[in-house]
Amino acid sequence: MSERAHGLPQVVSAYLLPLVLRSRFPAFLRVSSDGHIVERGGALARYGLQQAQIGQAATAQIGLLTGLLPHHGEPLHLSAVQT
């Protein structure tokens, strides 16, 4: 984390991060340009994504990604997903 992430001193950011993680349950999938999952983590089970396997096609495993992948623009961020 940079010394002043979002304009905040590192000590403040370090204090806030655990507070946010206690009330939010972030999860992520990092997908390669060819549509395969290369990294995953966080609270996947909370969103029904625990079955997502690294090395496999994301759309074959997670139907809601069909039509969104392959994606060739800015990184795609889905802030609220219901599965």
Task: List per-residue pLDDT tens for the chain, 83 residues long.
Answer: 446 667 889 999 899 989 988 888 889 999 998 999 999 999 999 989 999 999 999 999 999 899 888 888 888 888 877 66
Q: What is the pLDDT of residue 83?
A: 61
Q: What is the pLDDT of residue 5?
A: 65
Angle at 73 between CA 71 and CA 54, to 5 degrees: 40
User: How would DSSP label each residue in 8-46?
Assistant: --HHHHHHHHHHHHHH---EEEEE-TTSBEEEEEESGGG
Query: Is there a domain that residue 23 lies in?
Result: yes
Query: Is there a domain that residue 76 lies in?
Result: no
Q: What is the pLDDT of residue 1?
A: 44
Q: Which of 20, 25, 73, 76 is nearest to 62 (CA)?
A: 76
Q: What is the pLDDT of residue 7?
A: 84
Query: What residue numbers bound the domain in which 61 lies?
Result: 5-65
| Cis, peptide link before residue 18, omega less than 30° from 0 | no
Q: How many domains does the chain have?
A: 1
Query: Is there a domain that residue 80 lies in?
Result: no
Q: Give the largest CA-CA distance in the chain.
A: 43
